[in-house]
Amino acid sequence: MLDLLSLSQAARAISSELAPEELQRTLLRILREATGAQYAALLDFNASEGWVVLCQSAGESRTTADLPATVLAEASQTRKSVILSNASAQAPHAQDSVVRARGLRSVLCQPLTHRGRQHGLLYLESTQSVDAFGEARQSLIELLVSQAAVALDNAYLHHDLLEQSRAHESARREAEAARKQMQDIIDHSPAAIYLKDRLGRYLMVNSLFEAFYGVPRARIVGRKDSELLPPENAQALMENDLRVLLAGETLRFEEEIPHHDGPHTFLSAKFPLRTEDGTIHAVCGISTDITEHRKRADLALQKANEELEQRVAERTEQLHAAQRELLDRARHAGMAEIASSILHNLGNALTGISVSSALLRERLQTLPINSLERVANMFQNPPAALGAFLAEDPKARHLPEFLGKLHARFVEERQSLLDECAHLATKVEHANSVIATQQNYARTRFTLRERMRLRELAEDALRLCADSNQFEALVHREYGEEEPEFYERHVVVQILVNLIANAKNAVRERLDNAHPRITVTIHQDSERTLASVTDNGVGFDEAVKARLFTYGFTTRPRGHGFGLHSAALSAQALGGHIEAHSEGPGKGARFEFILPRQRLDAEP
């Protein structure tokens, strides 16, 4: 039994202990000493396991299975003390297997409660004496238990506070380590990294930012761009920050910052930082200095441009050379086309001359020269005999009639020969015209520009293409009003000869064409001069149209495929072009040779 001094010391020992484990051991030791209990234990409730032994007398290793279940159940359910003076004789606990097995006498099981919080169960037992925890010791036990509940509550609170303090300290150290690690990372970043609040004050900068400005970061944090940069540069940066705050998303900018070695260009990515409720509280920026990259890129671009210009110049010269060669070939091909047409026309003219010559020879051979010779022989008699002959000979009576018929025959043959000579002269004149026209275009190989009307060149081309009188019957002219222009005579005629020859072949190849027709039209307005060759020949479809001016393409079995090709190239060389139109096969075609009008001040 404790005296008052011992009780006071026990209470101080319990209340002064803040470590929960040590407090539990101290409490059990004092209670055993004060009550004489052979065994003491503190129990705690676990949600998964139920009641478990938290602390017990030294040298003991019991579990809740070694304690009377009926006692524990009653105390936990009623939350009141269960005191048995003689457990072996008190129902229903007398039937408990642990009570009977251990021969328990006195048993106490009391909840430890403070401020409505239950800290567990206190369990005491004695196998030697009855009523060991009776009224004489009840007040002492309640006092110590109450003091223990308070002490346990304080110990748990202290433990929780200590754990929180340790957690906070650990979190602080981890946060500091993370901050230092993050600072190390951003300090070693090849880009300038910085953080500003909504007012534009710097909250954080890295070492590259610090080195670029040449100012310690302690003198940068808390300041604005307007305090670090010239007004125009600071204003541009603040406007970009404002755009990020308004957009609420990442934006990219090219920003120029002055430096002692000249302005530097930065490629900046800026994005908003938000609080947990989504409010933007800061702007973070990552700016990469691209000045050297820009210089190298500019130098590389300049070098590439110079190389490209050189290549373009070389290729342009090659193209010009190829174009000159192609034009020269086209002109030779065109001249070959003209020569071929001329030879064909001359052949037709010479054929007509040959026919006329043969006909003249035949007519001359059939003249009645022999009959005239016989009459002449009759008049070679002496005059006396001639008179007798005329008066008496029967043949003489037919002589006047014969002479009349002979005269008529000679008159007829003379007219026929004169007509044939006229035809022959016409054909010879046509041949001379063809030759003269060709000589006119073959005098020089140099480019000569002459001031004339396009209709004059069209007439030259028609003369070069005419192969018979029937050709002239095919041609219809529609010449509008036109002013003289400067033309490269032989090139234009070459183009028109190709177009007219193409039309001539088209109308002849259409076998069902009862009324073949070729129309040559000249039209001029303020912008252009147009020569159109229209025929009602075989025509063409869209597939053929796409290839008409391709070198080597032809629809004629004996065609060579460079007439229209050379004409198109020559037209382009003159600054014009050729357009082809047809409504389809068998519906004729129209080729338009279009040249731009020349300025009034254009030189020939």
User: Mean pLDDT for the chain?
Assistant: 81
Euclidean distance between CA atoms 35 and 22, whole angstroms? 20
> Which pLDDT value is given to residue 178?
82
Band (483; pLDDT cuts 50, 70, 90): very high
Q: Which residue has the higher pLDDT, 19 or 485?
A: 485
The phi, psi pair for 262, rounded to 5°, reads 115, 170
Quote the pLDDT of residue 297.
81
Among 55-59, 196-200, 388-392, which stretch is predicted with the lowest mean pLDDT? 388-392
Q: What is the pTM of this model?
A: 0.37
What is the C-alpha separation between 284 and 244, in angstroms, rounded?
A: 10
Q: How far apart are the first and last CA of the chain?
A: 143
Beta-strand (E) ranges in 220-349?
251-257, 264-274, 280-289
Task: For residue 445, give the DSSP letter.
Answer: S
Asked if residue 520 has pLDDT above 90, the reply is yes
Q: How confident is the model over 317-324, as a mean pLDDT?
A: 84
User: Residues 460-486: what's their mean pLDDT?
Assistant: 85
* Phi-psi domain of 384 (left: phi exceeds 0; alpha: psi -120 through 50; beta: other): alpha
> In the prediction, which pLDDT does 397 show?
66
Task: Give the residues across from 122 on adjacent strands.
Answer: 42, 110
Torsional class of 19: left (φ above 0), alpha (ψ -120 to 50), beta (otherwise): beta
The residue assigned the tokens 């602390």 is: 55
Contacts of 286 (CB under 8 A, 6+ apart): 189, 191, 192, 193, 268, 269, 270
295-301 average pLDDT score: 84
Class of residue 487 by CB neighbours under 10 A (exposed 0-12, middle 13-18, buried 19+): buried
What pLDDT score does 361 carry?
Answer: 73
From the list 448, 551, 529, 453, the residue with the least C-alpha distance to 491 is: 448
Kindly state the average pLDDT of the residues 300-329: 84
Tokens of 345: 């026309």
Highest mean pLDDT among 73-77, 96-100, 235-239: 235-239
Asked whether the bond before 596 is cis by omega within 30 degrees of 0, the reply is: no
Token pair of 146 as six digits: 């109450």
Residue 264's pLDDT is: 92
Residue whose tokens read 């209670």: 31
pLDDT tens sequence across 541-555: 999 988 888 877 887
Sheet order of strands, 106-114 included: 50-56, 39-46, 117-126, 106-114, 82-84
For residue 225, what are the contacts with CB-CB under 8 A and spacing of at least 6?
A: 200, 233, 234, 237, 238
Top-ranked range on mean pLDDT: pick from 251-265, 288-302, 329-343: 251-265
* Per-residue DSSP letter, 468: S
pLDDT band of residue 179 (cuts 50, 70, 90) is confident
Predicted pLDDT at 558: 67
pLDDT of residue 2: 47
Q: Is pLDDT above 60 for 446? A: no
Cβ pair 115, 151 in contact under 8 A: no
Would the pLDDT of 15 be above 50? yes
Has residue 151 got a pLDDT over 80? no
> Which has the closest alpha carbon to 351: 419, 434, 418, 431?
431
Mean pLDDT of 192-216: 92
Question: Would the CA dihedral through 276, 277, 278, 280 be positive or negative?
Answer: negative
Q: Which residues contact 184 (CB under 8 A, 6 or more apart)?
A: none
Q: For residue 502, which of 542, 539, 470, 552 has the smallest C-alpha distance? A: 539
**What amino acid occupies position 475?**
V
Percentage of residues in the chain having pLDDT higher than 90: 29
Per residue, the 3-state secondary structure of 33-66, as one string, reads: HHHCCCEEEEEEEECCCEEEEEEECCCCCCCHHH
Confidence at residue 435, expressed as pLDDT on a 0 to 100 scale: 65
**What is the arithmetic mean of pLDDT over 458-481?**
83
* Angstrom distance (rounded) from CA 593 to CA 576: 8
Structure tokens at 255: 């920003």
Neighbouring C-alpha atoms within 13 Å toward the C-beta of 227? 10
pLDDT confidence of residue 127: 87
Which residues on neighbouring strands pair with residue 531, listed in sequence order?
A: 522, 593
Task: Provide the pLDDT for residue 129.
Answer: 84
Tell me, what's the pLDDT at 1? 47
Q: What is the pLDDT of residue 538?
A: 92
